[in-house]
Amino acid sequence: MDVTTDGIRYALSVRDLLWVSFPYTTGALYLAFEHYILDPVGTEFALLVTVSGYWTFRLANGEKKTFRTVVIPKARAV
């Protein structure tokens, strides 16, 4: 099977292999080669951003679960 017949799956696999790995490794490479040391305020800020991102992620997934389990069955029953 070649690229022209596979369509979107080829594009998704290329994106997953090339693009997704780039943002995850860029920060680590910068810290590895620059030997940047965070002060306590920078460390607390990085942790705050990480925790707030995780909290937002969990909140959004909770809303999706509520919508799928409560709202959709009620709409189908009507």
- State pLDDT tens for residues 25-71: 887 788 788 877 889 998 899 899 999 999 999 999 999 999 888 88
Rounded distance between C-alpha atoms, residue 11 and residue 22, angstroms: 16
Longest pairwise C-alpha distance within the chain: 61
Write the DSSP assignment of the chain as a string of letters. Answer: --HHHHTHHHHHHHIIIIITHHHHHHHHHHHHHH-----HHHHHHHHHHHHHHHHHHHHHHHHHHHIIIIIHHHHHH-
* pLDDT higher than 70, residue 6: no
Q: Is residue 11 within 8 Å of residue 3, measured between CB atoms?
A: no
